[in-house]
């Protein structure tokens, strides 16, 4: 029933919202029947059994189209399934389709997709955020019960905030990246997107696992995230970075986020302001590191091994060149060029190495903050969802919108974004709670108490 309801919702809303690149109607119905049988005969139990999930289109799904919303992977059907998705399948999840995203997860609006922009279900003239905009819009439009996204620099938290849903970016290494098509490998993490923190904690518990196929996977023994779903924040120390509330922050977002802090204070949390001064360096450091890694990761798309190949060419080099020129979109090309530049000899020390040093200093600043606070509270994004088309014309402005999310990836920390109000246009506002490494439970607890 849940699967049919999701498919009906897709039928009714998809033309307007465009959350999906692929809807696997037949596959989902067949799988739902199999799962139902297992539920009936008692071989499958648990909260995710038979529940329809949408998967961001940068996670490999065996025999199911996986495009990264790029022309270059327009026909790519992987021969294996990403570990996180496989974990969900073991829990009885039913994959309903693959969601739209910014091409190769590069963007903040889901407008760089080769398959058309996704619209914000709250107001179709606005973007859903990105890059996991399809996943967040699908949850908001009830086209699925929950979704998986990936977060390299905010791509779960920022679209969650724009679409009024809840999303968690776990500590780096908690969810296996095996089968996640890499953007910035040292920053990428898969995480859940759902209607509330209870669902997110349940899903995170199912997808988190130690995986020796991912060399950065961490063996943790504290993965029972649902234990943190208790309505008690007495004595919890919450730090509010002054630097997060300065210039560029929309006054309505500021008010809603500070109100959320008050709610938690009234429930017994100890709230205090502090300085987290290095944030201004986070954007340049992130874009140098992410583009550098992307330029290397995307070298594999050459028309030989996967996907698209140019129709006409003369010789091998010309085939590479034409395939990549025709297969990648503008934003992806911009980042490959930027990344190749910062890694090239003569510039490596001045840009890439400096960015890595900045990353280390940002981590240190967070370490000092977490010596004093359990949770850091702030906005997920400086504004609510912008109108479609506004960001594409001004990439620098779009990059600046990542100010509150990217330092979390640079430091490898867990972060959650959850709804904390609406602006005067009725668009959702997102609250971000950041925890120290491996302290997902603290942010889940604070989020649960706030909800």
User: Which residues of this chain interact with ligand GLN, rule CB under 6 A?
Assistant: 105-108, 131, 151-155, 183, 290, 402
Q: Let me know if 161 is a catalytic residue.
A: no
Active site residue 131: yes
Q: What minimum distance in Å lies between the beta carbon of 19 and ligand GLN?
A: 17
State the catalytic residue, choosing from 13, 19, 56, 295.
56
Q: How far is the CB of 149 from ligand GLN (least distance, A)?
A: 9
Q: Least CB distance from residue 324 to ligand GLN, whole Å?
A: 20
Does residue 155 have an active-site annotation? yes
Catalytic residue among 69, 70, 135, 155: 155
Quick one: residue 152, left, alpha or beta (phi over 0 = left, psi -120 to 50 = alpha)? Answer: alpha
Query: Which C-beta is closer to ligand GLN: that of 172 or that of 448?
Result: 172
Residue from 192, 250, 249 nearest 417 by CA: 192
- Contact indicator for 129, 100 with CB cutoff of 8 Å: no
Distances (CA, A) of 360 to 169, 188, 244, 403: 20, 17, 20, 17
Nearest-angstrom CA–CA distance, 378 and 392: 26
Cα 31 from Cα 3, distance rounded (Å): 10
Annotated catalytic residue, options 113, 131, 135, 391: 131
Our CB check for ligand GLN shows the closer of 152 and 358 to be: 152
Given the complex with ligand GLN, which of 183 and 328 has the nearer CB atom? 183
Instruction: Report the first-to-last Cα separation within the chain, whole angstroms.
Output: 28
Q: How far is the CB of 352 from ligand GLN (least distance, A)?
A: 16
Residue nearest to ligand GLN (CB): 155
Of 94 and 388, the one with the shorter C-beta distance to ligand GLN is 388
Q: Which is nearer to ligand GLN, 121 or 154 (CB)?
A: 154
Q: In what order do the strands lie in the sheet with 94-99?
A: 20-23, 94-99, 52-56, 146-151, 189-194, 166-169, 415-422, 428-435, 375-379, 237-241, 270-274
Q: Residue 286 carries which DSSP code? A: H
Least separation, in Å, of the C-beta of 105 and ligand GLN? 4
Catalytic residues: 56, 131, 155
């Amino acid at each position: 029933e849940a699967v049919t309801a999701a498919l009906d919702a897709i039928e009714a809303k998809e033309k307007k919202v465009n959350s999906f690149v692929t809807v696997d109607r037949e596959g989902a119905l067949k799988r739902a029947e199999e799962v139902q049988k297992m539920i009936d005969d008692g071989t499958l139990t648990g909260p995710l059994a038979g529940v329809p999930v949408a998967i961001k289109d940068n996670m490999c799904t065996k025999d199911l189209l996986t495009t990264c919303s790029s022309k270059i992977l327009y026909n790519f059907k992987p021969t294996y399934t990403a570990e996180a998705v496989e974990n969900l399948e073991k829990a009885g999840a039913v994959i309903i389709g693959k969601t739209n995203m910014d091409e190769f997860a590069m963007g903040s609006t889901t407008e760089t997709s080769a398959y058309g922009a996704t619209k914000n279900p709250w107001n179709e003239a606005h973007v859903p955020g990105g890059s996991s905009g399809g996943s967040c819009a699908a949850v908001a439009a009830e086209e699925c019960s929950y979704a998986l996204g990936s977060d390299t620099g905010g791509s779960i938290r920022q679209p969650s905030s724009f679409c009024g849903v809840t999303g968690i970016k776990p500590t780096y290494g908690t969810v296996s990246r095996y089968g996640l098509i890499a953007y910035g490998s040292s920053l990428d993490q898969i995480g859940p997107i759902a209607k509330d923190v209870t669902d997110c904690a349940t899903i995170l518990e199912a997808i988190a696992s130690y995986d020796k196929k991912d060399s950065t996977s961490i063996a943790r023994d504290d993965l029972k995230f649902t234990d943190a779903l208790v309505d008690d924040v007495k004595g919890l120390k919450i730090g509010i970075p002054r630097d997060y509330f300065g210039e560029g922050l929309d006054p309505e977002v500021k008010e809603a986020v500070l109100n959320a802090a008050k709610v938690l204070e009234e429930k017994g949390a100890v709230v205090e302001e502090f300085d987290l001064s290095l944030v201004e360096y986070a954007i340049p450091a992130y874009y140098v590191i992410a583009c550098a890694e992307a330029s290397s990761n995307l070298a594999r798309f050459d028309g030989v091994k996967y996907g698209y190949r140019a129709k006409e060419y003369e010789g091998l080099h010309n085939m590479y060149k034409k395939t990549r020129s025709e297969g990648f979109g503008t934003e992806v090309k911009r980042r490959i060029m930027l990344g190749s530049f910062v890694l090239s000899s003569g510039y490596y020390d001045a840009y890439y190495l400096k960015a890595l040093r900045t990353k280390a200093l940002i981590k240190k600043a967070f370490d000092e903050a977490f010596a004093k606070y359990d949770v850091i509270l702030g906005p997920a994004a400086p504004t609510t969802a912008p109108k479609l088309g506004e960001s594409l014309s001004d990439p620098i402005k779009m990059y600046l919108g990542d100010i509150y999310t990217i330092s979390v990836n640079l430091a490898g920390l867990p972060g959650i974004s959850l709804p904390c109000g609406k602006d005067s246009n009725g668009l959702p506002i997102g609250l971000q709670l950041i925890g120290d490494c491996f302290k997902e439970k603290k942010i889940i607890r604070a989020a649960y108490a706030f909800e």
